[in-house]
Amino acid sequence: MKIVLEKDRQLLMHSPLYRFTNENSEEHNTVTILHHPEVDVYKPFSTSEKQGFVYFDLWSYSFAIQLKQVLQAHDTVKGVLRLRRTTNNFSYIKEDILALSEWFGDVRNVTVRSNKGGEMHYTIVLCEFGDSIMAHLEYQSGNDRIEFEWSSHLHIVEFDSLQMSSDKDNNRNLFKNIDAIVQFAIMWNEYYDEKLSTIQQLLQRGEQ
C-alpha cells in the first residue's frame, strides 16, 4: 500500500506486520511513504484534489483504534464529546467535524466563537452530533497537541497527546498509525463533497 504523509507528520514504524520504505513497492504488507499524491494511495484530508482513499488527521492516531473499540462495544446514543486541539492550522476545524460526523452522526445546531486579534488565537465550536450528542470543540494556537474526551453513562474515554510523553518535540503519540489510517479512511465521492459544503455553511452561519 502507499500513503501520503504531510511534510510535518511522522509515521509509527515499529509494526511487525509491515515493512516501511520510501521506494515504490508492490510487495505484500509493504508501506510506501510518499509526500506527493499519486493514484491509488491513502491521502490526507488536506490534499487539494480529494479522490480515492482519504484519511482524517483525527482518526489517524493509535488512540482512535481504542476509542472505536469502546464505541462499538457499548451503546453511544447519548454522551458528551470534548475535543481541544492546539495547532497553528485552524483548517482542522471543518476536517474534524467531518471526521466526528462519520462516527457520531450528522452535525447540527452549530455555534462558533472566536477571537480575531491578540497573540493567542482561539475558536470554540459548540454543536450536536446525531440525535443527542453534545460536543465542545476548542482550537487554540500553539504547538501540536490533541486532547479528546468521550463520556457517556457507561464509560469515559480520555486521550491527551502530551500524556506519557517526555519529548514534546518528538511526541510519538502524534505519530500516524498505519492501521488506523487504513481502517478509518473513506472513499471520497460526491456525498462527501456535499457533506463538507454543508459543514462549511453551518460554520459560517454559526459565527457570533
Any idea of the CA torsion for 41, 188, 54, 138, to the nearest 10 degrees? 170
Q: Which pTM value belongs to this model?
A: 0.87
* Cell numbers 451503546: residue: 75
Question: Could you give the angle at the alpha carbon of 122 between the alpha carbons of 59 and 124, nearest 5°?
Answer: 65
In one-letter notation, the amino acid at residue 97 is I
What are the start-end ranges of the H helices in 6-73?
62-73
* Mean predicted confidence (pLDDT) in 129-139: 92
Question: Could you give the angle at the alpha carbon of 81 between the alpha carbons of 149 and 202, nearest 5°?
Answer: 140
pLDDT digits (tens, 9 = 90+) for 178-188: 889 989 999 99
What are the start-end ranges of the H helices in the chain?
62-73, 92-104, 178-184, 190-205
Cβ count near 170 (within 10 Å): 10
pLDDT level of residue 114 (50, 70, 90 thresholds): very high
8 A C-beta contact, residue 33 and residue 5: yes
* Mean predicted confidence (pLDDT) in 25-50: 73
pLDDT digits (tens, 9 = 90+) for 6-34: 777 777 766 656 666 766 666 666 677 77
C-alpha cell at 177: 498509525
Q: For residue 208, is pLDDT > 70? A: no
Q: For residue 133, is pLDDT > 80? A: yes
178-200 burial, b for 16+ CB within 10 Å, e for fewer?
Answer: bbbbbebbbebeeebeebbeebe
pLDDT level of residue 80 (50, 70, 90 thresholds): very high
